[in-house]
Each structure stands twice: as structure tokens, then as C-alpha cells.
Amino acid sequence: MTERTIWVQAPARLHLGMLDLEGGLGRRFGGLGVAVERPVVRVAVRPASDLTVRGPWAERVRAIAERFFEAARTAGRTVPPGAAIEVHQVIPAHVGLGSGTQLHLAVVEALARMVGWDLPAVELCRLAGRGRRSGVGTWTYLYGGLVLEGGRRTDGTDAGLAPLLGRYALPPGWRFVLVIPRDARGIYGDVEEEAFARRVSMSPETVGRLCRLVLLQLLPALLEGDIVTFGRALTEIQQIVGDAFAPVQGGRYANPVSAACVEALLELGAAGAGQSSWGPTVYGLAADEAQAERLAAALRRRSGPDGRPLAEAATIEVVAPNHQGRRLWVDTA
């Protein structure tokens, strides 16, 4: 009998900011982000007589799989007694790169493909338990590129996933200098829940400025390949969003190393720079591979706020945008 192994590889994402924390027009959050080629989640799934999980985050993956099997049986799907799941790679946790969302989606989609269940985006998101606020992770998982999503309805009547308003390819040469401070983590869990419940806000004027920057600067510049205007708009968006979250994270950026890296990247000539989600990951935008490598090399030589070289305080690498989203393939043995 032929044994089929379903593989899924999913890219990390940079979350570039939320657009409306108040919801005065009936939708809250909204936002934009971009998929990047590294780091990645990679999982493999095959039918088995019981449920086994090998690799990082095994207990978390087991819980995802158990919920999936319960939902599949409830939906009348024919499922095997279990599955052998192997987690080969994960995105670092709580650094602002979407590790949880990409892992949940990859495991659920691999299991769904194993049992012949073609899940639409909303159902995939629901079974994975993601997208309660932002849809950026789901849409970058599915399609890659730069995505813009329209937020969740404040009356709770939407389908459970912020709608995709647009998906755009970045010019092929553009690169990101990705900086992940060592031994630092962004906000998550109960602190994040409290932040969105009470501690972060935006005025209507701020929301209006963000939306104008996206619709009248950032996206037109992207379509025209104008990296200068795109980068300028992106940097301002990130600064505005960072200031909105400052009461929770202690400043515009997650920590002094993140802040120093953004400042240095801009000083060294990055077209734009900012922080992904709650950080501490930050990034700079470059026009091509050569400029990005020069930026990365120069940044590694800089000293951080504690006097250590930034090469010791953070991992610094050049990554390309991902324009495919997740990859699925089947091995037979």
C-alpha cells in the first residue's frame, strides 16, 4: 500500500501595522503585512494508527491536531485513527514573525489535505484558531506578497476573518534586512489581551492619517516601483503605530536594541524601517541584494545601546519577499 506524506512549508511574515484600533466606522484593526522567505515553518503529516508528534512545540501541535480530528468527525469526514506529525522547522516564537499563526495553519491544512478536505480560507482560519484580530498572517500564509486586510466587524457579524482587500507583489529586487534581537521577546498572551482591551487607542485623525498613507502613498508607490516614496510612507506608518502601542511596550519600539537598529538602518540608507508586530524583530528595506548586504554588514559593525556590537546583540540577515505563500507537496513511499 502506498503511504502518502503531506508536506507544508509556510513563510514568516512582517506585520507592518494596524490601521484602526477604535472601530468607529464599524470595523476594527485592519492592517498590512508582507511575507518573507525566511524563517519558515515546515511540517509533514501522514495517516497513522494513533496520534504522534515529533519535533518542536509537540504538545501545542498535538492540541491543534486533536481539535482538528474532532471537527473533522463532527463534519462527517472519514478520518484515520490518528496521524504521524513531524515538525521539521519552526519560526522563532514571540519575536513578531507570526510563528503561532503559521504553525497552526500549516498543521491544520496538512491534516485537511491528508483526509481530502479542501478548506476555504475562513474555515481554515477557524479550525486553526487564528485571525481573531488580524488577518495578515492568514492571507500571507495563503498568498505571500504584501497584503492589505479590512479589519473585523465590531458587531461580530463577519465570517471570522478580516477580508482581503488587496494582495500585491513587491518588485523582484527589493530585500529586507531582518534584525532579531537575541534574548528578547515581544508581548503576547494575557498582556497582549489586556493591551487591546484597555490600553491602546488611536484618534480619528490618526486613523485617517494611516489610511491616507496606505492608499495615497504606500500602495501607489509600490505599484510604480518607487521605493523612496514607499519607504517613506512605510516608516511613518510604523512610527505612528509604534507610538500608539508605546503605553504597552514602553516606547515606540519593543526595546532599546530594536530602537537603535531602526535608527541605524535609516541612517545607513535603508529606504524604510520599522518593527514587525510587537517585535522585537525590526527590519530595513533595500532596493536590491547588494544594498541590503551592505546595510547588514554596516549594521553588524555598529554598537548597540549597551556598547556591545549589534552583531552580538542580534541576528542580522538579508531576506527576500515571499510571493508564493505556503508550499504543499506530497511524498509517496
pTM of the predicted protein model: 0.93
150-192 residue pLDDT tens? 999 999 888 889 999 999 999 999 999 999 998 766 555 666 6
Contact 109, 43 (CB under 8 A): no
CA distance 243 to 164: 26
Q: List the one residue out of 31, 27, 30, 29 whose CA is nearest residue 153.
A: 27
Can you list the domains of the chain with their CATH numbers?
4-168 (3.30.230.10), 175-319 (3.30.70.890)
274-320 residue pLDDT tens? 999 988 999 999 999 999 999 999 999 999 888 888 999 899 999 99
Q: Is the pLDDT of residue 48 over 60?
A: yes
C-alpha cell, 306? 549597551
Helix (H) or strand (E) holding 86: strand 82-89
CA distance 290 to 269: 13
83-140 residue pLDDT tens? 999 999 999 998 999 999 999 999 999 999 999 999 999 999 999 988 788 899 999 9
pLDDT the model gives residue 187:
54
